[in-house]
Amino acid sequence: MSLNVKQLAAEKAVEYVKDGMKVGLGTGSTAYWAIRKLGQRVQEGLNITAVATSRASEDQARELGIPLVSFGDIDSLDLTIDGADELDSELQLIKGGGGALLREKIVASNSGRMIVVADESKAVAVLGKFPLPVEVVPFAWEWTVAEIAKLGCKPELRRSGEELYKSDNGNYIADCRFEAIESAPELANALQNIPGVVEHGLFIGIADLAIVGKQDGSIEVITTRRNA
């Protein structure tokens, strides 16, 4: 049976959670394992409060008895644990494969620390093979997507069966294949300047640490010079 490297990385990250912390819960199949482990630790007496980045993670946390608070009750978080679709050695990320990029970015940006959990397939030299998710408002989405395409990608509106996929925020997601992103900060800036773009999945200068699980059972911890 092959090793569950997502679980390996996620459970390592949960070791960083200490009593009294306010924790952001990520979204996706790797974050799932972190939430599961946190639930176990809460049942064993760990005292934390949490906020979730998606309805799915909120439901999972509730089922496991992780105390959830609303955003009005706290100013910031100590730590967020979340997955990524791609990460590079500077801890620039592509996120949003699960469609939760906007909530994930709000939560991670308001956290003292963001730990990324991933399997080794997510660690890349250059971002861009994974289509970059860009959340756009439904109004005039055709025009917004045409502007995004001018940046050098092939945007495809995400679907859910016959229907267009809608994020938890009621927006569409354009998945934009760039192949190789030369400068993530420049692209982020250009995307942010397009009216109709709500948020994009480039996370730059947000992650502090990545815990990468490997098939050989080892774990690689990546930090940036920023955090060294």
* Least separation in angstroms between CB 147 and ligand 5RP: 23
Task: Tell me if 196 is assigned to a ligand binding site.
Answer: no
Following DSSP, what letter does each residue of 29-97 receive, concatenated?
TTHHHHHHHHHHHHHTT---EEEESSHHHHHHHHHHTPPB--GGG-S-EEEEEE--SEE-TT--EE--T
Give strand pairing partners of 123: 87
182 burial class (0-12, 13-18, 19+ CB within 10 angstroms)? exposed
The least distance separating ligand 5RP from the CB of residue 47, rounded to whole angstroms, comes to 26
Token look-up 């800036």 returns: 189
Q: Is 104 a catalytic residue?
A: yes
Cβ atoms within 10 A of the Cβ of 206, count? Answer: 19
Catalytic residue among 11, 104, 135, 199: 104
Identify which of residues 48 and 202 has a Cβ nearer to ligand 5RP in the complex.
202
Q: Which candidate, 219, 194, 211, 164, places its Cα nearest to that of 16? A: 211
Q: Is 30 annotated as a binding residue?
A: yes
**Nearest approach, Cβ of residue 33 and ligand 5RP (Å):** 9
Binding residue per annotation — 161?
A: no
Q: What is the DSSP letter of 2?
A: -
Q: Is 83 annotated as a binding residue?
A: yes
Q: Is 29 annotated as a binding residue?
A: yes
Residue 122, classified by CB atoms within 10 Å of its CB into exposed (0-12), middle (13-18) or buried (19+), is: buried
Interface ranges with ligand 5RP (CB under 6 A): 26-31, 82-85, 95-101, 104
How far apart are CB 29 and ligand 5RP at their closest, in Å? 3
Catalytic residue ranges: 104
> Binding site residues for substrate, as ranges?
27-30, 82-85, 95-98, 122
